Structures are given as C-alpha cells and as structure tokens.
Copies of this chain bind each other. A is one copy, B any other.
Amino acid sequence: MYKFKVIASDKKARVGELVCPHGKVSTPVFLPVGTQASVKSLAPQDLKDLGVEMILSNTYHLFLRPGAKNIKKLGGLHKFMNWDGPILTDSGGFQVFSLGFGIEHDVGKIVSLYGDKLVLGQQESSEMVVRTKLCKIEEEGPTFQSHLDGSTHFFSPEISVKTQEDLGSDFIVALDECTSPLHDYDYTKASMERSHRWEKRSLDCARDCNMFGVIQGGPFKDLRVESAKFVSRNDFFGVGIGGALVSKQKMHEILDWIGPHLDPEKPRHLLGIGAVDDIFEAVERGVDIFDCVAPTRLARTGFLLPDMNVTKASYALDKREVLPGFTFAYLHHLFRARELLAYRLATIHNLKFMQTLMGDIRQSICEKRFAKLKEKWLK
C-alpha cells in the first residue's frame, strides 16, 4: 500500500515514484502547505488544476483546532477538506518546540520581535503571537501552551501518531525535538538521543508502515551521521531531515555528511525547505520531498516567483498575462485595492511556478542534464 521506487537518477539526484492509498506522487516533489486544512486562498480543485499531487498539513494546528477527533468524526482530513490526493502530516513537534527554543534563542522560524511579543514567522496564522517560553520537555513528552488560547497540552509520541492516524494522513512523521542551532553540543546530543527514543516509540505504536523518521543532530557531523544511521536501520518508511538551520552552507554540509548513510530505497524529505536554490542543492544531494510555506505566503504579499513584486507601480499598466486572462496590471490593481481575488491568483501563480520547476527538475534528471538545469537557474 506504501511504496517508493527510484526510477531514474543523475549522479545522486533521483526521480522516484511514491505510492500510497490516495494515489501516486512523482518525486522530487514540492508539497504546498495546508496548515489549517486549507492551502490558503485555494480550493482543492485549484490544486488539482495545477497538477499538485500531494500536500502537507500541520498536525499541531489541527490538533488544537478543530481537533483531530472532530476531523475523524467528520470522516478524516481528506473528506473534511475535500482533497482526495495524498496528504503528509508533520508530527507537530516543530511547532511545539518553536514555542520553546525559538523564544529562548530568538532563532529558527521566529522572525520578528514586536515590543515584548515574539512572532512565529513559520506560522501562516496572524494569531501566532507568543510571549514567553510555552513548552516544557520531559522524557515522556513535551507539554506546551496553545497559541490560540493559552490552554496547556501534553503531546507524547503516541499522541502525535494517534492524532495523525485520526486525521487519516497518507504519510506521518515521528515525533522528534527540533533543536536550535544555538544549542550546544551536549544539549544537542542529549536531545537527539531523546528524539531517537521518541521516534522509536512513534514507530512502535503506528498502525501502518507509512512513517518518516527524522534526522536531528544540529550542526554537528558525528551527531548527524549517528542520527542518519538510526533512521536508516529502523523500520521507517521514509527519512525526514530536520532541525532549524543557521545557514544554507551548513545545510549542504549536513546533506553531504548524511548522504552515504541513508538507505537508498527510502524517500527523503527535507522538512520545511522550498527556496529555489535550496531545492537544487538538495536534489543534487539526493533529496526527494520538499515543503515550505514561502511560495504561498509570499504570494499573499504580492511577491510573484521567481522575483516580481506586483504591488510596484511599474506593473500598473503591464498588459502581459500573469495567468490566462489575467494581466499583471489587473493583479496589481487587486493588490492595491486589497481585493481577495489577489491572494488566490498570486498563489496559483506561485504554485504553478513550483510545479513547473519540479517538473523541469524531474525531466532533467531523466535526461541526465540536471547539472545544466541547476547551473542555468543558479548562475
């Protein structure tokens, strides 16, 4: 029921086919993010029309609202959101720990500080405003406070798996602790070892063979290698590559370190990454799956991939089409007038860009000219 097969390769870059109960997915693939059971501004039919094959949804958000049990009562996440394609859910760990180290260290996905309020940049929701360290970690699992109402929740590996199974996700992710790049070696090692214990517990309680283990270990080579070996030797379906990263350079190094220790038959997901240059660098190092809120979030600010800000005055009379029937001039007007259609059209554009990019990447691998495509894009 869950399969992954590499069908073409060009050096370490690979084209694969992922199979699950809700369909087939060609890799390398970019997953649009539907944080709260909706890829913001789009209907599922828009995603189908774009050729999107799989989306990612966030366990943490759905756990809190409307609640995974409620979604289960309503027939599962696919039925709830009217999307019949594959869904991968994360473990919820990233969001839970963002409330911890992110605030402690002011790093990771926390991007801005307003007065005494920290704003979690990773979140799509404007409500994601937190004031203090909201997460406590114990061996049994983390305890965190909801960003919505401050209520306290315990979140073990078993609860994460149960939540994802209640949602009815096609692929699930084992609970791990996402460490900060500012944590020291000792903390990072201890945390990684605890993550491995949590991931083992996740695996032990899972119903199906559809789980991604996650490699942690921060910026330390020996830890990353140890973690890669752990995920490879255990019975995970796929490999997640996690952690908040200090630099793109470090990310490339980490991928180089772990590459030789990964099971070539398991799909590899670089969690939360989706910039064009990162995708090329990671595909070159054997990564198969990407997800990121950037293309959809940038769209809602008027930023059109790869490099256009349609809110600029220079687009006011631009007759070129941004999408069939819609000109840059019209999209410019919609953004200036704050019309809701602006967000949908821009999101469609950005996801169309990502779909085209990933299709081009797959084709270039099949035709053994990935390096040339990469050079063309990154020069």
- Which A residues have a C-beta under 8 Å from some C-beta of B? 36-38, 40-44, 65-66, 70, 73-75, 80-82, 125-127, 316-317, 319, 325-327, 329-330, 333-334, 336-341, 343-345
Contacts of A44 in B (CB 8 A): 325
Q: Are B340 and A40 in contact (CB under 8 A)?
A: yes
Among B66, B339, B344, contact of A333 (Cβ-Cβ < 8 Å)? B66
Among B42, B125, B319, contact of A341 (Cβ-Cβ < 8 Å)? B42
20 more CB-based (< 8 A) A-B contacts, given A37-B330, A42-B341, A340-B340: A37-B333, A37-B337, A38-B334, A38-B339, A41-B341, A44-B325, A65-B333, A66-B316, A66-B336, A70-B316, A73-B317, A74-B317, A74-B329, A75-B319, A80-B327, A80-B330, A81-B330, A125-B338, A340-B343, A344-B344
Give Cα distance in the complex from A262 to B18, angstroms: 69
Q: Are B38 and A341 in contact (CB under 8 A)?
A: yes
Contacts of A338 in B (CB 8 A): 125-127
Evaluate whether A80 and B329 lie within 8 angstroms (CB atoms) in the complex, with A70-B317, A340-B344, A344-B344 already known: yes
Contacts of A344 in B (CB 8 A): 43, 340, 344
Which residue of the partner chain B has the closest CB to A324?
B82
Q: Are B74 and A340 in contact (CB under 8 A)?
A: no
Total copies of the chain = 2
Give Cα distance in the complex from A339 to B81, angstroms: 12
Give Cα distance in the complex from A327 to B329, angstroms: 36
Q: Are B65 and A336 in contact (CB under 8 A)?
A: yes
Among B36, B41, B337, contact of A65 (Cβ-Cβ < 8 Å)? B337
Distance (whole angstroms) from the CB of A304 to the closest CB of chain B: 17
Contacts of A81 in B (CB 8 A): 330
Give Cα distance in the complex from A273 to B243, angstroms: 57
Distance (whole angstroms) from the CB of A57 to the closest CB of chain B: 12
Please name the 6 residue pairs, one residue from A and one from B, whose CB atoms are nearest each other, closest first.
A82-B325, A41-B340, A36-B337, A38-B339, A66-B333, A38-B341
Distance (whole angstroms) from the CB of A81 to the closest CB of chain B: 7
Contacts of A42 in B (CB 8 A): 341
Contacts of A70 in B (CB 8 A): 316-317, 329
Give Cα distance in the complex from A316 to B65, angstroms: 11
